[in-house]
Amino acid sequence: MGNLTVLPIPDLPMVQPGDDLVAIINEAMAKADLSFQEDDILVLAQKIISKSEGRFARLSDMEPSAQAHAIAEETGKEPDFVEMVLSQSNDVVRTGPNVLIVEAFTGIVMANAGIDRSNIDRGEGDDNALLLPLDSDVSARALRDQFVEQSGKTIAVVIADSVGRAWRYGTSAMAIGCAGLEPLDDQRGDVDMFGHTLEVTEIALADQVAAAANLVMGEATEAIPAAIVRGLSYPRTDRPSSVLIRKKEEDLFR
């Protein structure tokens, strides 16, 4: 394994609904004198995918149910916001003071169904919120296909989101979408340095790629929503990032 490099793609404009992300990223890369190399992994923040797909919703459009009011009471969150979270969820997993953890419609367990109110134009009356992309694996694949066709290089795409975790403070990025790289690298059956068979070694490759890229992406004013991870050798497969989601019946923490 050689060196791995994470290259931020600077100076992307604010993404608007309907924007052509491929064109925007190509332009920013050209300005920064960047071009794709074979096996590059393009990591994109969930936020720009959601924005380009117009996944905005208005808090004032919500009509909070009795359940939403009860959860609002318990969590201290606004009933409109709770209703929006519930509308984007399959299931409530845990609630607590200022905490609402759900299984989002995507199947991923996360706080607030991934709904975001940072780094978006909240509009008049502070009303807008940003939802997750409808299917980030589909979005990743469509973007990858276009980049591969235009660049002539076989690259992979990962869509990253920052999330909280059980047991540990702080957010870390994970992959909510991917295309062109194996999200879950199964090394079971390989042998270790002493010839013993490795027992439990499925590596969450796409999540670690997202975390590495997130180191250059940042959260605040200088946020960079796109980066290239270069130099990683990885299995090229067509499996979606959803294979990373632990089945509910195999999850001891649901």
Binding positions for its own copies, 72-131, rule CB under 8 A:
94, 96, 99, 101, 108-109, 117-122
Q: 8 or 79, CB closer to its own copies?
A: 8
Instruction: Please tell me the distance from the alpha carbon of residue 16 to that of residue 58, in angstroms, as a whole number.
Output: 16
Closest CA to 175 of 89, 46, 65: 46
Assign 201 to helix, strand or coil: coil
CB 181 within 8 A of CB 171: no
CB of 149 to its own copies, least distance (A): 27
CB 61 within 8 A of CB 129: no
In 10 A of CB 3, how many CB atoms? 6
CB 171 within 8 A of CB 161: no
Site string for its own copies, 189-228 (x = CB under 8 A): -xxxxx-x-xxxxxxxx-xxx-xx-xxx-xxxxxxx----
Q: 150 or 187, CB closer to its own copies?
A: 187
Closest CA to 52 of 79, 89, 12: 12
CB of 166 to its own copies, least distance (A): 4
Instruction: Please tell me the distance from the alpha carbon of residue 174 to that of residue 212, in angstroms, as a whole number.
Output: 10
Q: 2 or 152, CB closer to its own copies?
A: 2
In 10 A of CB 173, how many CB atoms? 23
Q: 142 or 211, CB closer to its own copies?
A: 211
CB of 172 to its own copies, least distance (A): 5
Q: 66 or 252, CB closer to its own copies?
A: 252
Q: 94 or 153, CB closer to its own copies?
A: 94
Binding segment for its own copies (CB under 8 A), chosen from 19-27, 69-77, 140-148, 184-192, is: 184-192
Give, as ranges, the residues between 120 and 179 that touch its own copies (CB under 8 A).
120-122, 162, 164-174
Give, as ranges, the residues between 13 and 32 that touch its own copies (CB under 8 A).
14
Tokens of 199: 């027992």
Kindly state the DSSP code that residue 155 receives in the 8-state scheme: -
Q: Which residues are 207's β-sheet partners?
A: none
CB of 213 to its own copies, least distance (A): 9
Q: Which residues are 43's β-sheet partners?
A: 158, 227
CB of 154 to its own copies, least distance (A): 19
Among 16, 37, 150, 187, interactor with its own copies by CB under 8 A: 187
Told to check if 242 binds its own copies by CB under 8 A, we report: no
